[in-house]
């Protein structure tokens, strides 16, 4: 990837700099530059920079945009001009949020810009598991026709109970999409969500009730101290034998060893996984050998439409700060 600089300043205006540190493709940088705020000088750099290199480039930058979202407290303390740290992602686990708050630097997430993509991906994983799409595709290509699906190992989503863990922006979108398949919706969250209770007849339940009664369990909770390891050996033991688990949120919400054991012993019906403790996944990982798992490479939030939405939201937040207003969707400590 090559670095680009796109100046939008006039000679009479003070130069205010926006820097995108981009670990994705050239297309992301091009989209960001096309939607960058007028009157600011925008540049982008690849994400594989050392702390020393980041410090060097941030000496006079006022707005730092990150994807992936990774920056240390060491870097933040040297970024003397920084007024906003804007993420194009929803998670902020790799940002030293405590130091940012001490320095008075707001850290803003993407405002739910990828919620549509993640919700659709979660539904796609449910259907892929229930319809055995991956084995069926392989069997057709191998000339084995219906060997992978005999009519007794594929299932309908209709009539099932879908348990949504985390009824935030994404969780609510998943619930609405799942309801369209004529399912029953239950959810576990810290707070009641009248919006989906009234609209979808969703019912708020305890975690214990959710894991023991849901046919499909889909995770959409943030990674906090209270949610780390939320689904472990105890929860898997309580699940229905045919239950499937979908995780498009954070790998650490699930005890990985307990998940592998539940899948290996067929305690649960299967899992659709988009997030992992180590990324990329090592080639000898046990999940890669299992036929009751559908795996995707942490791409649930990636969609063509979403990149423009993320970059547009970043632009709007930067404009708020330049006008002396507070940015929106500012992250807070656990």
List the catalytic residues.
250, 279, 298
Tokens 């405590």 — which residue?
98
Q: How far apart are CA 100 and CA 73, in angstroms?
A: 7
CA distance readout (Å), 261 to 200, 250, 290: 34, 19, 11
Number of residues in the chain:
334
- Furthest-apart CA atoms within the chain: distance in Å: 73
Give the Cα-Cα-Cα angle 287, 292, 296 (nearest 5 degrees): 55
Q: How far apart are CA 90 and CA 97, in angstroms?
A: 14
Q: How far apart are CA 16 and CA 18, in angstroms?
A: 7
List the one residue out of 265, 259, 267, 261 whose CA is nearest residue 295: 259
Q: Provide the token pair at 318.
A: 């930067």
Q: How far apart are CA 16 and CA 41, in angstroms?
A: 6
Strand order in the sheet with 17-22: 5-7, 41-46, 17-22, 61-67, 84-87, 107-108
Q: Provide the token pair at 235.
A: 């929860």
Q: Tell me the chain's radius of gyration from C-alpha atoms.
A: 22
| Cis peptide preceding 69, ω within 30 of 0 | no
């Amino acid at each position: 990837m090559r670095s680009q600089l796109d100046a939008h300043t006039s000679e009479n205006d003070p130069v205010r700099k926006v820097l995108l540190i981009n670990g994705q493709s050239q297309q992301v940088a091009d989209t960001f530059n096309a939607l960058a705020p007028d009157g600011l000088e925008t540049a982008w750099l690849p994400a594989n920079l050392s702390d020393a290199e980041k410090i060097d480039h941030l000496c006079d930058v006022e707005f730092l945009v990150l994807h992936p979202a990774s920056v240390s407290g060491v870097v933040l303390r040297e970024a003397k001009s920084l007024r906003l740290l804007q993420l194009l992602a929803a998670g902020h686990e790799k940002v030293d949020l405590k130091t940012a708050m001490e320095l008075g630097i707001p850290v803003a997430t993407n405002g739910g810009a990828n919620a549509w993509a993640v919700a659709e991906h979660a539904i796609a994983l449910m259907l892929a598991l229930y319809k055995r799409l991956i084995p069926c595709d392989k069997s057709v290509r191998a000339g084995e026709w219906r060997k992978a699906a005999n009519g007794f190992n594929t299932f309908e989503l209709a009539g099932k109970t879908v348990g949504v863990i985390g009824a935030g922006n994404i969780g609510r979108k998943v619930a609405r999409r799942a309801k369209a398949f004529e399912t029953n919706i239950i959810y576990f969250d810290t707070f009641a969500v009248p919006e989906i209770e009234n609209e979808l007849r969703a019912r708020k339940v305890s975690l214990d009730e959710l894991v023991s009664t849901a046919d499909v369990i889909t995770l959409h909770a943030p990674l906090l101290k209270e949610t780390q390891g939320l689904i472990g050996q105890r929860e898997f033991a309580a699940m229905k034998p045919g239950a499937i688990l979908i995780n498009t949120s954070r790998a650490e919400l699930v005890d990985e060893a307990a998940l592998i054991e539940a899948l290996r012993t067929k305690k649960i019906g299967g899992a659709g996984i988009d997030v992992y403790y180590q990324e990329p996944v090592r080639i000898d990982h046990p999940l890669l050998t299992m036929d009751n798992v559908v795996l995707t490479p942490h791409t649930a939030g990636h969609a063509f439409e979403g990149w423009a939405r993320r970059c547009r939201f970043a632009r709007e937040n930067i404009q708020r700060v330049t006008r002396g207003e507070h940015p929106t969707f500012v992250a807070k400590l656990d």
